[in-house]
Structures are given as structure tokens and as C-alpha cells.
Chains A and B, each alone.
Chain A
């Protein structure tokens, strides 16, 4: 089996400088670093051993010495440094670094800024190649950009310190589902950045379960002296994106009719069984954990949504609307 040249050539050009920087590295370790099997890496080394400088005599070819399971470059034939970063590679790293810098609390923002400056400097120092073969205009400029648009909550540094040092944490946290601020002690597990929001994944001692805490809703955090000790069975969530953010306890299911003005709900929240009706509305079912939260969502939608089920949600919504109208001095 031979992989395509487009996949193999970058590795071949990178391999010699990589090995030069690590004399006596185990072949298996190098293979793992490049994400290929050991047999493939050995085929790569055999090929490079046949390559070299014009003349192509014994002293002109790449030379490698094998000792046990390790390999050392003894002649590099001029491949001392890896190829410069392409415009796409540099931009991809730079945009990701900027996104991390923009995500308060995820990493040491100072280290991110320093790394970004060095990557951009290395990409910029090469300069344009003076000929017609230069990469297309878009390659060098950033055609990917990230804006998280989040304001820091203020306690991110303490949260990160607890994760890094493996300590328990006392949080003052605003729960959007309960619309209330509460205090709780948690055992931090890891930090997640999912799309535009940063979360702490932790064992919540009060809820006795693994919970996600959005960092911009942490009002205050205090690193405790005791170590973080999630119970042995506590598992972080697998997967990414929506899998991670699926409601913890979406025990209830609402059946809704979303009129066009409320169709955004189906894009914003995970819904199931979407059926489009002829009049532009959509029937969906939607899971929710907290009825009060669901009622708040529905009240903001007014007549753009009909609730078909469950009956207790229908009644709670209407009761809240009546109370609210009374507070405005209006009859219903």
C-alpha cells in the first residue's frame, strides 16, 4: 500500500530536519509523531536514503544510522530546516491563537499573545517570493476569522488555576436554567471551549453529577486547599459540540408549533421531529429540564408559538402571562 504523493511528500521533506533535531529517536516514536505506522515510516526512511545532491555518490546521499530501534541522521544533504509555513498553515494557527486569546480563562492569555507574535513574525519574515508562482492572493491573507464576542466574567483566572493545580473550587454561579445565583463546591475536571463559549466541566458536589459551568456566568471563584476529587466513576462528556452541550436532564418534552417569527428557536436550540407546515410554521419537539426556563422562553415568543403538550407547561405559561398582565394593570 502506498499513500498518495501529496500526502507523503510533505512528510518526506519534514522528516530529515525532524530527525536532525532528535538524534537517536526511536523509529516508533517518530512514526507516532507523524501519525503513520512504523512500517510506513521505515519505507519513508528507505526512500530518503536514496535521495541526495547532484553527483548522487555515496557522500552525496542522505545518510542514516540505525541502532537498535533508533535512527540518527548522519548526512542531511541540505535538508536542515523544514519548509516554511504555507499561508494557509500560518493563518490557521494564527486565527486559532486569536480565538484562544479571545476566550477568557482558557489559557494564559499572555503566552497566547507571545506565541501569536512569534508565529506571525516567522510567517512574515519569509516575505513574498519574487515570481509568478506565488500562492494566490488569498493564501497569505487571513480568509478565516473568529470572533467569540464574549465578555469576561471576572473569575476565569481562578478557575483555570484550580484546573491546572488540581484543586477543588467554590463557585458563585448564575444558573440560566434556574435564573438564580447560587454557591456550590465543585471538583474541576477540564476546561472546554465549544464554539463560542468556554466551560468548566466539573463534578458538582451539590448535584452529585458532572456539570458544565459557563465561565462568563461564574461570578466568583475561590480555589480551595483540598484537592479536586471527582468520584472514580465521573466521566467527562464524549464527542464535541452539540453532544457536549446536550441538556443534562432534559426530562421533559414539549410539542411546539413555531410560526415564522419563532422559527429561530429550531436553529438555536436542539429540537427533534421537525415538520414544516404549509403556512411556513414548523412543528417540533424540544427537550427541557426546567419548566420555569421553558416558560420564560415561551413568554418571550408570544403568539409566535403554540404549545401542544405537555398540559402542565400549557397551563404554567398561561398562568404566568395572566399574572404579568395583572402586574401591568391590564385584564386578560
Chain B
């Protein structure tokens, strides 16, 4: 037997109200006899199928459906909804706090997250809080998540399911299939990463979402993934994507009034020379790229290996072919 979506919605609302109003656990049979919409179902089998689907729908929505028996004498488990678990607790937001929440709900530029933020906002407003969705319209926060892998990886992380996908370690590398226990997705400095346990390499790994294919598949059972208790997603990505901690310092001579960008990322020379600055050095090649960009306006004094690396970059520039003859641009 089929019922219209409208009849099903009505039955589900009545089921919630019925289970909220009882302290006793109600058996499925009792619910069948009580809640309108179930009584018309002819066979036991059809009823149980319908009831299972309804329970699943409510749980999907986050309704805390409890199962249990009110006394040892009950032959089967029953159901109830504890009001204390169902209801949004009292929450009182001052106007500036409500504005912050409205802004936060506008942050996400991804359907998966924007939907959850919007429904959260509706619940807060139903609790009587004046959250104006257009509050502080002079502020527009936006965090994009345009990568096709985002939604399936978020869903798998929430469900605790193992995933497989193809991934390139750099844009020109060959794509390889990975099997990962996903712990979460992280936006670090505006780029999205998946953090998890890479089963093939038996180690923690961070994957740039833009380098993951559109072939993400959840393969394991729900709840199969257990992230570590002391998990700090941002710290893991920051350690993996960010520069290593500085291992030394370099001294650079700057032309007065020039190389402002380098000057801003530096400290004054401990020796007191106004035209010399000191910078942190973690990777020589990264530092060399940064200094070389300023050409004659920034000259490395020490260490020698950084001096050498900058000179090598500059020589490389002149060694290039840079052909500009007609027809060379394909």
C-alpha cells in the first residue's frame, strides 16, 4: 500500500507527539493501534516495513528515539522520546551574539554545510531568538568548498566510513588509488584537505581536495572509523602543509625604500645596520625564491648556501630560452 507524502508527514508528526507525551515505552503494536495512519495498514508485514522506515526517518533527522521496556513484565521493547533529549535547551543570545551566529551561518559556500547551518538557524529562531539572517549585511563571509570530493568526504567522515579515491601527489603525477579512514575535512589557509589514516601507507596523511578525483567511494560499514581521541585536525594540516619550523636565520641587504614585501616579513638587523634585515630560514629553496623575486633590491649576505641558491635561480632565469619568435606560442 502506498501513502501520499503528505499523509506520511502527518503520521510522522503524530508519532513524534505521541512518543513525546509518554513516559512509558510504547510497543510497536500499541503505536499501531494509537497513531493515526497506521491503523489502515492491512498486513503485519506492511506495518512493520512502514514503521521501520518511519523510525529511520526520525533518526536521520536527529530525533532521539529511545528503545526499552518500562518493566521486566513487558514482552517486547517499546519506544519513547525523552523531552529532555528532544528539545533544544534554553539558549539566550544577546543581539551582538545573534549577529555573530547569523554571520557564521552565512559563511559556508557549499550546499552540504550551508543546509546544516540554515536548519540550525531556523531552530534557534523557533526558540524565540531574533537571529536576523540579513544582519550585518556590510559583512560578507565566504568559505568555498567547490571541489567535487568535498561532499562525499564530509559525508563519509560524519558516518565514520572508509573511503577510496584516486589522488595525485602533485598536479603532474600519475593518479593513484588510496584507501583512507577519514577523520575530517579541514580548510587551512583557504584550501581544503582531507585528514585521515592512509591504510596503504599505514600512517596519518593529509590530502589536498583539489588533487582528489571525483571518484570518492565510501566502502566500509558506518562507524568503522575511530579518530584518535586527542585529534587536532587543524594542527595536523598546518604541520603537513605549512613550512617546517625555522632552522636558522639569514641576513639580507635591502636597497633603502625598496623590497618592502621582504622588509615586512623580516626583523631589524641585530647588528644595527639600517639597510640589513634578518629573516627566518626553514627551507633554503623557499627562502631563495622569496629573496630572488626582489632582484637587485635584496642581496643575501649569509648564509652562503642561500646566497648560492639565489644566484642559481637568477642564472636559471637567464639560461631560459624565452623564445618570442612568431609562431612559438601554440
Q: Which residues of A contact B (CB under 8 A)?
A: 2-6, 8-15, 17-18, 21, 33-35, 43, 47-48, 50-54, 56, 77-90, 92-93, 96-97, 99-100, 103, 106-108, 111-112, 114-115, 118-119, 121-122, 125-127, 129-139, 141-150, 163-164, 174, 176, 179-181, 189-197, 240-241, 244, 255, 260, 263-264, 266-267, 275-276, 280, 282-283, 295-309, 311, 314, 317-318, 320-328, 330, 332
How many A-B contacts if CB must be within 8 Å?
431
Contacts of A114 in B (CB 8 A): 94, 97, 100
Q: Range of interface residues on chain B?
A: 35 or more
Contacts of A34 in B (CB 8 A): 122
Minimal Cβ-Cβ distance residue in B for A98? B104
Contacts of A163 in B (CB 8 A): 138-139
B21 touches A10 (CB 8 A): no
Q: Identify A306's interface contact among B66, B185, B292, B322, CB under 8 A.
A: B322
B320 touches A305 (CB 8 A): yes
Q: Known interface pairs A5-B57, A144-B185. Does A85 touch B141 (Cβ–Cβ under 8 Å)?
A: no
Contacts of A17 in B (CB 8 A): 126-128
Q: Known interface pairs A106-B141, A179-B261. Does A82 touch B61 (Cβ–Cβ under 8 Å)?
A: no
A327 touches B296 (CB 8 A): yes
Per-residue contact bits, chain B 49-69, to A (CB 8 Å; 1 contact, 0 not)? 000000101011111111110
In the complex, how many angstroms separate the beta carbon of A260 from the nearest chain B beta carbon? 5
Minimal Cβ-Cβ distance residue in A for B299? A327
Cα–Cα distance between A85 and B127 once the two chains are bound (Å): 11
B180, CB-defined interface residue at 8 Å: no
Cα–Cα distance between A147 and B321 once the two chains are bound (Å): 41
B96, CB-defined interface residue at 8 Å: yes
B101 touches A115 (CB 8 A): yes
Contacts of B159 in A (CB 8 A): 136, 138
A136 touches B160 (CB 8 A): yes
B140 touches A330 (CB 8 A): no
B154, CB-defined interface residue at 8 Å: yes
Contacts of A241 in B (CB 8 A): 109, 142, 144, 146
Q: Known interface pairs A96-B105, A190-B138, A241-B144. Does A328 touch B122 (Cβ–Cβ under 8 Å)?
A: no
**Known contacts A80-B87, A295-B295, A309-B324; 5 further A-B pairs (Cβ under 8 A):** A53-B21, A82-B127, A267-B171, A275-B330, A302-B315
A325 touches B311 (CB 8 A): yes
B148, CB-defined interface residue at 8 Å: no
Cα–Cα distance between A308 and B124 once the two chains are bound (Å): 57
B4, CB-defined interface residue at 8 Å: yes
A302 touches B312 (CB 8 A): yes
Contacts of A191 in B (CB 8 A): 138-140
Cα–Cα distance between A39 and B116 once the two chains are bound (Å): 25
Q: Known interface pairs A92-B116, A136-B159, A197-B190. Does A321 touch B295 (Cβ–Cβ under 8 Å)?
A: yes
A240 touches B158 (CB 8 A): no
Q: Identify A148's interface contact among B89, B108, B140, B189, CB under 8 A.
A: B189
Cα–Cα distance between A100 and B105 once the two chains are bound (Å): 11
B237, CB-defined interface residue at 8 Å: yes
Cα–Cα distance between A304 and B227 once the two chains are bound (Å): 40
B293 touches A296 (CB 8 A): yes
B199, CB-defined interface residue at 8 Å: no
B264 touches A174 (CB 8 A): yes
Q: Identify B322's interface contact among A280, A297, A314, CB under 8 A.
A: A314
Cα–Cα distance between A132 and B79 once the two chains are bound (Å): 12
Minimal Cβ-Cβ distance residue in B for A114? B97
Contacts of B59 in A (CB 8 A): 133, 135
A47 touches B9 (CB 8 A): yes
B103 touches A2 (CB 8 A): no
Q: Known interface pairs A146-B187, A193-B142. Does A90 touch B120 (Cβ–Cβ under 8 Å)?
A: yes
A53 touches B117 (CB 8 A): no
B279, CB-defined interface residue at 8 Å: no
Cα–Cα distance between A84 and B123 once the two chains are bound (Å): 8
A181 touches B260 (CB 8 A): yes
Cα–Cα distance between A119 and B13 once the two chains are bound (Å): 26
In the complex, how many angstroms separate the beta carbon of A268 from the nearest chain B beta carbon? 10
Cα–Cα distance between A193 and B142 once the two chains are bound (Å): 6
Q: Identify A107's interface contact among B21, B66, B136, B307, CB under 8 A.
A: B136
A299 touches B317 (CB 8 A): yes
Top 10 A-B residue pairs of the complex, sorted by shortest distance between their CB atoms: A303-B316, A195-B190, A196-B190, A302-B316, A302-B313, A96-B104, A86-B62, A21-B128, A147-B234, A81-B87
A146 touches B234 (CB 8 A): yes
B105 touches A93 (CB 8 A): yes
Q: What are 13 A-to-B residue pairs whose CB atoms are below 8 Å? A: A21-B125, A35-B118, A47-B13, A84-B89, A87-B62, A89-B116, A107-B139, A115-B98, A145-B187, A146-B187, A148-B189, A303-B319, A325-B318
Candidate in B6, B36, B98, B108 with the most chain A CB atoms within 10 angstroms: B6
Minimal Cβ-Cβ distance residue in B for A236? B140
B175, CB-defined interface residue at 8 Å: no
A5 touches B85 (CB 8 A): no
B172 touches A193 (CB 8 A): no
Cα–Cα distance between A60 and B105 once the two chains are bound (Å): 36
Contacts of B328 in A (CB 8 A): 308
**Which of B40-48, B218-226, B269-277 makes up part of the contact surface?**
B218-226
B210 touches A267 (CB 8 A): yes
Q: Identify B120's interface contact among A89, A115, A125, A314, CB under 8 A.
A: A89
Q: Identify B5's interface contact among A2, A136, A141, A276, CB under 8 A.
A: A2
A325 touches B36 (CB 8 A): no
B143, CB-defined interface residue at 8 Å: yes
B17 touches A51 (CB 8 A): yes
